[in-house]
């Protein structure tokens, strides 16, 4: 464990996969909202750096190297965070990996690894921290799914099935634990710019083409997801349980609007372009 503060006040939020990208943005926003944050990631150095930056700003943070599918590592990191900041009030299951492989040649090793990190890991973290929340009679869990979990996406290997599973895990948790004071919801991000996508979005043609698909006209960023996490964890969302909220600029609602259609002069456009949106 590293980069700890000595203040035990305020609620504890545990964020997995928080060394960078969406997870780091979530940790920052939750810290801004007054949470003590436990920043977990298999990237130990990255997690420590993210926590150190928060501590340097006077915030309460702790970091740990955690393989979310390893129950012993999850238990140990949970005990350390609880000893520092008390019972977790919020768990954000954000850790995830993705491999681009066609289904017909998808390696079993790739499948198993993604299932372990993207689906088994959130279940393990939910169980370990959920027991503490259940004992306290309150808590919130936010699972980071994906639009790929609801809509088929080619060349995503096990990623799409794991994110569909996360949406199912969200429903299961919400139904079983809602009456015991624990709310569970999911967020399905659309196209989000993160450090992992820097190279892809340095291609202006690709970026422009993708932005043209989104009714809001821009690629999202980590703060777009983090702000919804803060809302779902708050009392303002006290009657939201079992929801899967798309945070995608409207792209999944515009899929039919992206279908080529004929214009009056015989050209082919999309409904969005005909409306003057793109």
Enumerate the H helices of 33-120 as residue ranges.
Answer: 44-56, 71-85, 108-115
pTM: 0.90
Which residues make beta-bridge pairs with 37? Answer: 13, 61
Greatest extent of the chain over all pairs of C-alpha atoms, in Å: 70
DSSP 66: -
Q: 159 phi and psi, to 5 degrees?
A: -60, -50
Q: 274 pLDDT band (50/70/90 cuts)?
A: low
pLDDT for 276 equals 63
Give me the torsion for CA of 98, 103, 106, 108, rounded to 10°. Answer: 90
Continuous segment of H or E residues that includes residue 268: strand 268-270
pLDDT for 203 equals 82
Of residues 208 and 198, more confidence is placed in: 208
pLDDT for 6 equals 40
Active site residues: 159
Q: Which domains does the chain have, with CATH numbers?
A: 12-252 (3.40.50.720)
Share of the chain above pLDDT 90, in %: 75
Spatial contact of 201 and 259, defined as CB atoms under 8 Å apart: no
Lowest mean pLDDT among 106-110, 154-158, 252-256, 265-269: 265-269
pLDDT > 90? residue 87: yes
Residues 6+ apart with CB under 8 A from 186: 142, 143, 144, 145, 166, 167, 170, 243, 244, 245
Q: What is the pLDDT of residues 3-56, one digit of tens each?
A: 444 444 789 999 999 999 999 999 999 999 999 999 999 999 999 999 999 999
């Amino acid at each position: 464990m590293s980069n700890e503060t000595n203040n035990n006040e305020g609620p504890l939020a545990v964020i997995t996969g928080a060394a960078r990208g969406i997870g780091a943005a979530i940790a920052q926003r939750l810290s801004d909202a007054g949470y003590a944050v436990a920043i977990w990631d298999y990237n130990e150095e990255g997690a420590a750096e993210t926590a150190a930056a928060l501590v340097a700003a006077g915030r309460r943070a702790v970091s740990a190297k955690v393989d979310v599918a390893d129950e012993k590592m999850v238990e140990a990191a949970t005990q350390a965070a609880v000893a520092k900041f008390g019972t977790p009030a919020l768990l954000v299951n954000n850790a995830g990996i993705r491999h681009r492989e066609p289904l017909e040649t998808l390696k079993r090793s790739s499948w198993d690894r993604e299932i372990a990190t993207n689906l088994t890991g959130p279940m393990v973290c939910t169980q370990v921290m959920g027991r503490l929340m259940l004992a306290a009679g309150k808590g919130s869990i936010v699972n980071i799914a994906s639009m790929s979990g609801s809509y088929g996406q080619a060349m995503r290997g096990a990623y799409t099935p794991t994110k569909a599973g996360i949406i199912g895990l969200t429903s299961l948790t919400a139904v079983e634990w809602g009456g015991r004071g624990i709310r569970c919801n999911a967020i399905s991000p659309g196209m989000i710019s993160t450090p992992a996508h820097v190279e892809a979005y340095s291609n202006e043609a690709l970026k422009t083409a993708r932005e043209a698909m989104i009714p809001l006209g821009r690629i999202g960023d980590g703060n777009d997801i983090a702000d919804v996490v803060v809302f779902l964890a708050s009392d303002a969302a006290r009657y939201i349980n079992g929801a899967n909220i798309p945070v995608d600029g409207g792209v999944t609602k515009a899929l039919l609007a992206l279908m080529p259609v004929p214009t009056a002069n015989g050209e082919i456009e999309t409904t969005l372009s005909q409306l003057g949106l793109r």
